[in-house]
């Protein structure tokens, strides 16, 4: 039969990205990467699981956010993406993927470390869509520090906390009153919440906070019929990696996973679709690890 399923070895489905010598300026653009990530452009096939949904995705310009935007659109959702103004080039490529799936794409550039920008994101979604069915808090900031605790400046700590924690809190606080029963909030945590790398101390701390927030908010919003869950990636090949790590760390990135490679963004998107859809209707306050075999506890 022409549509016969062909099994694939997950350790070999994607080879380790060619990371040698790759370092790019922060915040990092996909076009600057020599080894481009796979967002599912050729592989993701939707089945209507999010038909008619209205979704907001922060950090939706590239990496995991782009893969989620693409998957949501191919599942039938209209999508609003927020991103830094410096990432406009990447954002427009994501817009093309969403519109190519026949769905609406709305863009809101700006820095979500500003509470007012978080409120603008929600306000724009309501103006364009009338409601929010899925909120994906995905945007994140990290900067590797080999000096560890002593190398983290107050400026870096402030930016990391505001991007990863404050913005998530502000977005949820603003969006929840406009989310109908059956809606879903999805946070992006990390294996760093459970197994922190010393050179990412402040980033790992925020990811642990995201896990705790997800578990608490999920219980709090049960009476509203809103579910809250988190996807915890392991190493994923996105522009953030060569833009925030030195050459040596980039070259070995992903080798720590039992599968001996970094994930591609396309491999994360199905987990977000699962949490956004009614297929996960009895799941809230949960964390789903997509880590290539590294356990979380």
List active site positions. 203
First to last CA, the chain: 43
* Run of H or E residues at 185: strand 184-188
How many angstroms separate the CA atoms of 33 and 241, rounded?
10
How many angstroms separate the CA atoms of 247 and 242, rounded?
8
How many angstroms separate the CA atoms of 196 and 189, rounded?
12
The two counts, helices (H) then strands (E), for the chain are 10, 7
DSSP 3-state assignment of 194? coil
Dig out the tokens for 26 from the structure.
Answer: 């922060």
DSSP 3-state assignment of 6? coil
């Amino acid at each position: 039969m022409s549509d016969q399923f062909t099994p694939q070895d997950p350790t070999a489905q994607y080879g380790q990205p060619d990371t040698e010598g790759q370092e790019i300026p922060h915040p990092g653009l996909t076009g600057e990467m020599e080894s481009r990530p796979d967002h599912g452009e050729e592989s993701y096939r939707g089945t209507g699981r999010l038909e008619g949904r209205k979704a907001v995705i922060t950090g939706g310009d590239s990496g995991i956010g782009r893969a989620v935007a693409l998957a949501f659109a191919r599942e039938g959702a209209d999508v609003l993406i927020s991103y830094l103004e410096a990432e406009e080039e990447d954002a427009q490529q994501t817009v093309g993927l969403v519109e190519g799936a026949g769905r609406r794409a709305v863009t809101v550039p700006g820095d979500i470390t500003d509470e007012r920008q978080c409120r603008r994101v929600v306000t724009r979604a309501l103006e364009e869509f009338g409601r929010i069915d899925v909120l994906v808090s995905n945007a994140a900031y990290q900067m590797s520090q080999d000096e560890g605790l002593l190398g983290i400046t107050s400026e870096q700590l402030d930016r990391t906390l505001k991007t990863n924690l404050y913005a998530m809190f502000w977005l949820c606080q603003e969006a929840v009153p406009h989310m109908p029963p059956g809606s879903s909030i999805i946070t992006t945590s990390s294996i760093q919440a459970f197994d922190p790398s010393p050179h990412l101390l402040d980033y790992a701390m925020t990811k642990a906070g995201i896990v705790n927030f997800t578990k608490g908010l999920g219980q709090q919003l049960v009476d509203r019929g809103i579910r809250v869950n988190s996807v915890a990636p392991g190493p994923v090949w996105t522009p953030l990696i060569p833009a925030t790590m030195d050459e040596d760390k980039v070259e070995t990135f992903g080798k720590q996973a039992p599968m001996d490679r970094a994930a591609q963004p396309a491999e994360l998107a199905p987990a977000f679709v699962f949490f956004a859809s009614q297929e996960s209707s009895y799941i809230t306050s949960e964390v789903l690890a997509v880590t290539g075999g590294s356990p979380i506890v």
